Amino acid sequence: METPTHSTVHLSDWQKSYFAITSGTCTPGQKADEYRAKILHIQYAWANSEISQVCAANLFKKYAEKYSAIIDSDNIETGLNNYAENILTLAKCQQNDSDKWQSALTTDNVLDLKCVQERMQAGKNFHSSQMAPAAACVLADKGVSSSAAPGLPKLSNLSSAGETELCAGSAKCASRGPDLLEHPSSSKSLQSSVPPVTKTPYMLPASSASLNEQGHTGFQATPLFGSKEATSSSSLKASGNCRDGQHLSASSQSAVPAWSTSSGKRKAFYGLADEGSTVIPSLAACQASTSAETSSSSGCRNRNEESSIPSFRTAKEQLWADQQKKSQNLPQRAPVSSHGGVKKSLGAGRSRGPFGKFVPPVPKQDGNENGGAQSKPHARGPTDPLLPVDERLKNIEPKMVELIMHEIMDHGPPVNWDDIAGVEFAKATIKEIVVWPMLRPDIFTGLRGPPKGILLFGPPGTGKTLIGKCIACQSGATFFSISASSLTSKWVGEGEKMVRALFAVARCQQPAVIFIDEIDSLLSQRGDGEHESSRRIKTEFLVQLDGATTSSEDRILVVGATNRPQEIDEAARRRLVKRLYIPLPEASARKQIVTRLMSKEHCSLNEEEIDLIVKKSNGFSGADMTQLCREASLGPIRSLQSTDIATIMPEQVRPIAFLDFESAFRTVRPSVSSKDLELYETWNQTFGCGR
């Protein structure tokens, strides 16, 4: 078959299609298709050294802009009702006032969103009403229309059998294809969520179902390189048309375009996003081809080359793979980076992998501290009888282990010492007596051994929880965080078992930090009125704490936090050997909090104004300071007219100014009374370990 010279032969096609786009007769969908085809064509031309990189970049930019102008437009006449905005709005709505908020909007669930489904359906309806049946047949297979491939072989170049099958394939996927492929906005979402399919006009892209499926499963199901199963019966047999970058499988299973000789270059063209591809190279079509044409064989010739191309990995998979690599290189637990190091948490610390379900702690094997599950990303769940279970978990209900994993493991970002303003003495003490010993148990032996329990006490909102988490992050320990009151109320009747399970799991996950907030409610002085179940929980806790204390090999630290240290009974107090007062932040710490928070915002405060804010906020806790800044940050929004809020660009919102803080001071008050402060001071002088 004759190979057209792309840059010359079809120049007129390019011009024709350009005229069609600009003539105003095309629907937005057709325009988008044309632009997309042009982008692909530019890519192809560059990959084949027909145009220079600069030229390709310029053209690419130009058409990418035109393309996105259509798909981003909400105008039903000229745009394609992109749903992205709605998704963003949705995502924003989920944002609560926690600065640790992370969007629940993931690529896995975005397509399940109702509004997305509705939008895609609306887009599909709109398109089918706009398109002529013949065009629909072609467009349904996306990116490949006779006009959409200017300068490149048209569909008419295919064998008639191929054409028939193409249309059959189109019809087959028309019902679902538009969801992801027909609707440009959805293809945009795919591009952001799934690395772009390296579509050249020669290829038929994967069907939406296959893309979608691949996006969820890590794309591992595609048979590779000439496997006969790679092409289903519905595949287009591209006999005589197999060329570089050409694959005509319409199989919803694999739909895998082959890489061209310039695949490496093409990857570079897509930059980051195309490291590997959503689609796995398949040369099945080439194998099927009996053509002796050079162009055809060139596609097959590259099989070996292509087999060295790494198959696509999602970011999640890549991250997991990197972690695996790292952990393989490390003889011991990963040391701590300046940013909190490896955030370990129950389950997560066992590297479940991107697909795996929860993997319970398992015995260490061959000195591999991470346990056997580390190397088993697909290991079975805790209830699996085949899974080796740590002796220490033998009597623990698997359900409890799962509960600990879901309810007690910490999901937040790592915490650095710099994230905690002030409390220098407590920080220094903790580093010395806890973090270093946990990092270097070989040096901190005997008398230097770390305490097994410490108590952080002080007014609410002063950073006790932050410190607990920071200890875990900085010492590379697994962090378990639980509120004592939830032990007594949430797991009614099960609190005692929960305590036992928690310590058992922590022992399997050493080093571990068990942070118990409101520890006073667990360890309050025993009284006649004490509920039987509370008594049992407390007893169990003390037994476990003693267990952790007496076993010299265990590297478990219990960090208790309380606002009511005076309520902790003597026996418990004795076990929490280091009792550190975490006071209200001093002026310098308050300044640090304001400066840090405002540095992330558009703000016009000068040094003097910050000093004034610090002065006015005397008596504020760290949490109060955060709340003050939050309140002030709303000032610029409140000064807008409500009508403007809908339309204003983010950069048009005025910076946060001192007057916003003045208003904020009217509503945010210190949450700690001076009477309470006196109590803390007194208790600190009596039982505290501070200076």
Residues that bind ligand ATP (CB under 6 A): 420-423, 460-466, 517, 561, 563, 585, 589, 593, 622-623, 626
Pick 123 or 458: Cβ nearer ligand ATP: 458
Pick 246 or 475: Cβ nearer ligand ATP: 475
Whose tokens are 């997991």? That residue is: 320
Distances (CA, A) of 305 to 260, 478, 607, 634: 10, 43, 60, 57
Pick 350 or 591: Cβ nearer ligand ATP: 591
Closest approach, Cβ 29 to ligand ATP, in A, equals 48
DSSP string over 556-589 = EEEEEEES-GGGB-HHHHHHS-EEEE-----HHH
Cα separation, 165 vs 237, in Å, equals: 9
How is the chain split among helix, strand and coil, in percent rounded to 5? 55, 5, 40
Of 88, 73, 202, 49, the C-alpha closest to 126 is: 73
Q: Which residue minimizes CB distance to ligand ATP?
A: 622
Pick 140 or 516: Cβ nearer ligand ATP: 516
Closest approach, Cβ 675 to ligand ATP, in A, equals 17
Pick 347 or 463: Cβ nearer ligand ATP: 463
Cα separation, 309 vs 264, in Å, equals: 9
Provide the token pair at 421.
């303003």
Pick 388 or 460: Cβ nearer ligand ATP: 460
2: DSSP letter: P
Closest approach, Cβ 622 to ligand ATP, in A, equals 2
Torsion of CA 658, 663, 667, 670, to 10 degrees: 30
Closest approach, Cβ 489 to ligand ATP, in A, equals 16
Closest approach, Cβ 597 to ligand ATP, in A, equals 8
Amino acid, res. 365: Q
Provide the token pair at 60.
């690419």
Closest approach, Cβ 594 to ligand ATP, in A, equals 10
Residues 6+ apart with CB under 8 A from 599: none
Closest approach, Cβ 655 to ligand ATP, in A, equals 22
Cα separation, 167 vs 349, in Å, equals: 50
Looking at the DSSP bridge assignments, the partners of residue 656 are 603
Cα separation, 13 vs 498, in Å, equals: 71
Closest approach, Cβ 503 to ligand ATP, in A, equals 22
Pick 463 or 636: Cβ nearer ligand ATP: 463
Distances (CA, A) of 265 to 7, 48, 63, 313, 612: 18, 9, 20, 19, 57
Pick 430 or 589: Cβ nearer ligand ATP: 589
Pick 91 or 623: Cβ nearer ligand ATP: 623
Pick 60 or 425: Cβ nearer ligand ATP: 425
Pick 299 or 422: Cβ nearer ligand ATP: 422
In this structure, which long-range contacts are made by residues 390-394, counting pairs with CB atoms below 8 Å and at least 24 apart in sequence?
390/360, 390/361, 390/362, 390/363, 390/508, 391/363, 392/504, 392/507, 392/508, 393/360, 393/361, 393/504, 393/505, 393/508
SS3 454: strand
Closest approach, Cβ 258 to ligand ATP, in A, equals 52
SS3 338: coil
Closest approach, Cβ 634 to ligand ATP, in A, equals 17
Contact 414, 339 (CB under 8 A): yes
Closest approach, Cβ 585 to ligand ATP, in A, equals 5
